């Protein structure tokens, strides 16, 4: 069955990513795409402190620093970074609880049941993967950002055939 017009297939790459990768498809670039100004630095949201999200604050500082240094973080991306940091915090909490309690816990009827923290961990891993890919935080999405831009030009005349 065909998909909806304009919404099926791969998501289009932003213009900045196409330029970073030297436009591998050699297709015409959309120069009318909205452009947002990269930010130089940003501190963690204040509500992180109120909620005692200590690991989220650490990850915010480390990640925001890297993204800002590459010019990849804009104000419009802050909510994605926020989601990523909170998911990291909750993932770590789940991992710590699983390490303490084990894979099974005593259920309501007194028998062993799957530790609910395993489900929480898996859900947070999914959120980390999704939001991390949007920000270019995993190796494969980072490779898509910089993969072709870092390859050196070859003097081999047979490469151009």
Q: Which residues lie closer than 8 Å to 77 by C-beta, 6 or more apart?
A: 67, 134, 135
Task: Classify residue 121: in a domain, yes or no.
Answer: yes
Query: CA quadruple 80, 82, 87, 88: dihedral positive or negative?
Result: positive
| Structure confidence by residue, pLDDT tens digits, 120-142 | 999 999 999 999 988 988 877 77
Q: Which residues lie closer than 8 Å to 144 by C-beta, 6 or more apart?
A: 13, 17, 21, 136
| Structure confidence by residue, pLDDT tens digits, 67-95 | 999 888 999 999 999 999 999 999 999 99
Number of domains in the chain: 1
The domain of 54 spans 15-24+37-152
CB-based contact 101:117 (threshold 8 Å): yes
Task: Classify residue 1: in a domain, yes or no.
Answer: no
Its pTM surpasses 0.85: no
Task: Classify residue 30: in a domain, yes or no.
Answer: no
Task: Classify residue 125: in a domain, yes or no.
Answer: yes
Task: Classify residue 29: in a domain, yes or no.
Answer: no
Task: Classify residue 131: in a domain, yes or no.
Answer: yes
SS3 content of the chain, % helix, strand, coil (to 5): 55, 5, 40
CA 79 to the chain's CA centroid: 11
Reference 87, options 64, 117, 53; nearest CA is 53
pLDDT at 161 over 60: no
Task: Classify residue 53: in a domain, yes or no.
Answer: yes
Task: Classify residue 87: in a domain, yes or no.
Answer: yes
């Amino acid at each position: 069955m065909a998909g909806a017009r304009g919404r099926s297939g791969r998501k289009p790459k932003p213009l900045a990513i196409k330029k970073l990768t030297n436009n591998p498809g050699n297709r015409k670039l959309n120069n009318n795409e909205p452009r947002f100004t990269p930010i130089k630095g940003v501190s963690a949201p204040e509500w992180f402190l109120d909620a005692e999200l200590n690991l989220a604050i650490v990850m915010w500082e480390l990640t925001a620093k890297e993204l800002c240094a590459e010019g990849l973080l804009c104000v419009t991306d802050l909510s994605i970074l926020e989601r990523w940091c909170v998911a990291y915090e909750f993932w770590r909490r789940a991992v710590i609880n699983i390490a303490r309690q084990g894979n099974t816990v005593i259920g309501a009827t007194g028998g062993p049941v799957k530790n609910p923290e395993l489900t929480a961990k898996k859900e947070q891993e999914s959120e980390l993967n999704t939001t991390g890919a949007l920000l270019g935080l995993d190796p494969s999405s980072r490779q898509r950002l910089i993969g072709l831009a870092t390859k050196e030009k070859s003097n081999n005349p047979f490469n151009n055939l």
